[in-house]
Amino acid sequence: MSRPIVVIADWDPEGGVWVATTRDLKGLVTEAETIELLRAKLPGMIFDLMEEAGVTEMPASVEIIARSSDKLVAAE
């Protein structure tokens, strides 16, 4: 059984989008306004990039790790 593709999704507050990248598949960089839209977008992109790269072994799954941070502001 093959391993999952791990995608890191970082929130970009300036752009108002989640930016997704992975080390597991060269060329995968995309963005979406919500995690749900990102989840819907990733499978097609992954299959296309795998086909271009000549990869025949399908990943077991796609694991999305979402990261977001907020600055702490002291209460007045």
With 90 as the cut, is the pLDDT of residue 58 above it?
A: no
With 70 as the cut, is the pLDDT of residue 1 above it?
A: no
pTM greater than 0.85 (yes/no): no
Q: How confident is the model at residue 13 (pLDDT cuts 50, 70, 90)?
A: very high
What pLDDT does 7 receive?
97
User: Per residue, what are the HEC states of the chain?
Assistant: CCCCEEEEEEEECCCCEEEEECCCCCCCEEEECCHHHHHHHHHHHHHHHHHHHCCCCCCCCEEEEEECCCCCCCCC
Instruction: Tell which CATH classification among 3.40.630.10, 3.30.2390.10, 3.50.50.60, 3.40.50.1100 matches the domain 5-67.
Output: 3.30.2390.10
pLDDT mean across residues, the chain: 92
What pLDDT does 31 receive?
97
